[in-house]
Amino acid sequence: MIEGMTDTEPLMLFDADRPLVRAAGVRAPRRLSFSQLSAFTQCPGRWLASRLLDVPPDWQSPLVLGSLAHGALEAAVHESPQVNAPDWRVEVERGVERIRARIRRRGWGDDPLPEGVTRPDGSVVTATDWMDAAAGRLDGFELDMALGRPPVPAATERHVEGVIQGVPVSGEVDYLDRSGDVVDWKTGRVPSRRDGKRAHADQLRVYRMLLGDEGVPVASAADVYVTAGGTRVEADLSRDALESTARWVGQTGQAIGRACEARVFDLSPSPLCPWCPLARVCPVARISGARGRETAGCQPFAPSDPRFAVGRLSGTHDTDISDGKEPRMADMDELMAMMSGETPAPKPKPKVKPADPWASEAGQAALDKWGVSEPEATPKEEPKAEPKEEPKVAPKPEPKPATPRWRPSDGRPYDAPVIKGSLNTASYAVTHLELTAAHAWRYAVEHSCDPHETLIVWLKAQWAVAQCAWPELNPPVKGLAEGHPDPAGLLDWAQHVFVRDADRALRDLLDADSTSRPGAATGRQALDCVTDAARRAGESMQAVRALLA
C-alpha cells in the first residue's frame, strides 16, 4: 500500500506527490462540535492533527486565554449581572473555579491554568501570569455592551445537542438571555473578511437549530467581541441562511466520516499554515514572510520526529474526500482552454432546449465582464441559385464542437505530462499549473484583478525567473508572451523542478512586499507588483549562479 516505507507505519504519513496525509488510525467523533466542523473545512490535515496529537499550549495561547475569559464572563453574568463594570481580575479567579467544578462533574478535561509553559526567554509562566493576561483581554468591557442593557440571564454555558442533516452535533451556548437573545463571546479581533464573519454566523445558526429542537425560542443571535469595545455582529437567522448552514453541516460531517473510514485526509495550504502545529513537518505548508517563518519555527513538531514521514500513497489520487464547498476540476482541458483562449467542448444538448440564461440582460453583462463574445448566429440557408455558367461556390462546412485535447489518466508524478494522447493528471506539471491557477485566482480576488490576466502574468513571471536562473534549461513556451500559451509547450515547461523553485522565490519576495498586500494595491498596480517581484527573484537566482560559477 505504501511505497518506500518500512513495515512500521508512522502516525501520519504525508504523500510526497499530492496534498494528502494518511493516518495510522483515527475514529470519527460520536458528536461533532462546530469548532471541529470548522477546523475540518479549513484543513482536514490540521483537524486530523488535533485528533491524534497532544499539542502543548504556548504562552499567550488564544485557546487558554479565551477559555479563562469565557469563565470570567460566565461568573460575572451568572453571579453578579447587576454589576456593569466588574473587577475582571476577580472574575477570572471565579471563572477558574467554575471551570474546575465543571471538570470534576463530568470527569474529564484539562485544568484551565496550564503548567510547565515557558516564555521565549525561558522564564516559567505562572498561574498568576495566565489570569493577569486573561483579565487584560476583558479590560474596558462592560456587561451592558452585549445587549445595550443589563443582562437578564436565562442560562450560561448551556450544553445543547441534536442531529442536523443526519450529523450528530453538540455545543455550548455561552449566554442565553431571558429575552431569547443568544450571545457568543469572542476574545479575538472582529473578522475583516466576509467569509470570517459568515463562519462565525454559522456557529450561531447551529446553536439556533439545536435550541429550537429543544423548544427554546431564539429571538436573535450575535457575536460580541469583548476586546473590541463590545462590538456586536448579528447573525442572519433567516430560513435560507439556516438551510445553507444545515447543508454545510451535513456535507462536512459526511466528509469527516469518509475521511476517517479511508484514513486519508486532504491538506489545504493557506496563510494560516504557520500557526498549525504541523507547520514544520507538512510538505505543502505555505510558509512565507518573516513573521510566518518565525511563527512556524516555534511549532512543536520537528521534521526528525519519527511520528511523521513522507512517502507515496498508492490508490488515493481519486479519494472521495471533500468539504463539499470547492468542486474539483474534471480534467485539465478547461484550464488549458482558459489559458489558450479556446472554448471548451460543449456538453450534449438536451432534447428539450431550456431557456438560454445568457440571453438575459444579466447574462449578457456577465459575458461582457469576462470578455466572452456572444456566439455568432447560425447563418441562414441561402436559396438555391439557378444553374449558371460560373462555378458553384462550395458550401462552408458547419463548425464542429471542440473535442477534448487529451484523455485524462492517472500516472506517476515523474512521468511525462502527456503520453500517447493521455494527460497524466498526477504529473508535476499538472499539479504545478493547478496550484498556480488557484494562487492566481486568490490573488485576483484580493486585489480586484481579472483572474485570467492574473494567471497569465503569474506564468510569465515564473518563466522569467526560471530564465534568469537556468537559461540553458528553460524551454520557450510558444504564445506565452502574447497571453495564449501553447498547452503542450506549457506542460513540458511546467514539468521542470526549477519552475517550482522559481515560483517559490516569486511568492516569497511578493509576500515580503508591503505594497502587494490586499488593500494596498489593486488592478494593474497589483499585477505590476508580481512583475517587480519576478525581477527581484530573477536577480536572486542570478546571485546563486554567480556563487556557483
- Tell me what the pLDDT averaged over the chain comes to: 82
Distance CA 230, CA 194 (A): 19
Decide if 284 is inside a domain.
yes
Closest CA to 12 of 37, 57, 46: 46
**pLDDT (tens digit per residue) in 492-546:** 899 988 899 899 898 888 887 766 777 677 888 888 889 888 998 888 988 888 8
The range of the structural domain enclosing residue 10 comes to 2-55+263-313
In a domain, 228, yes or no: yes
Residues 6+ apart with CB under 8 A from 453: 444, 483, 527
Mean pLDDT highest for which of 199-208, 209-218, 307-316, 396-405? 209-218
Domain count, the chain: 3
Write down which residue in 313, 346, 380 finishes a domain: 313
- Give the whole-angstrom CA distance, residue 265 versus residue 258: 9
- 506/425 same-domain check: yes
Task: Note the pLDDT tens digit of each residue in 49-78.
Answer: 999 998 889 899 999 999 999 999 999 998
pLDDT at 184 > cutoff 90: yes
Arithmetic mean of pLDDT, 129-147: 95
Q: All 3 cell numbers of residue 127?
A: 498561574
Residue 379 maps to a domain = no
Quote the pLDDT of residue 405: 65
Same domain for 518 and 418: yes
pTM for this one? 0.58
Domain endpoint, select from 256, 280, 299: 256
Residues 282 and 184 in one domain: no
Tell whether the model's pLDDT for residue 413 goes beyond 90: no
Instruction: Indicate if 155 and 217 belong to the same structural domain.
Output: yes
pLDDT number for residue 334: 42
Percent pLDDT > 90 in the chain is 49
User: Looking at the structure, do residues 513 and 460 belong to the same domain, yes or no?
Assistant: yes
Average pLDDT on 5-28 reads 82
CA neighbours closer than 13 Å in the CB half-sphere of residue 75: 25
- My answer on whether 420 and 535 are in the same domain is yes
Please check whether residue 232 lies inside any domain of the structure: yes
Q: How far apart are CA 44 and CA 265, in angstroms?
A: 6
Count the helices and strands in the chain (H runs, E runs): 15, 13
- Amino acid (one-letter) located at 508: D
Domain finish residue from 275, 291, 313? 313
Nearest Cα to 92, choosing from 226, 232, 183? 226
Give the pLDDT confidence of 33-47 residue by residue, as tens digits.
999 999 999 999 999
- DSSP H or E segment with residue 490: helix 487-494
Check whether residue 240 and residue 299 sit in a common domain.
no
Q: Are residues 245 and 277 in the same domain?
A: no
Flag whether 85 is in a domain: no
CATH of the domain at 175: 3.90.320.10
Q: Does 127 map to a domain?
A: no
What pairing do the DSSP bridges indicate for beta strands 407-409 and 231-234? unpaired
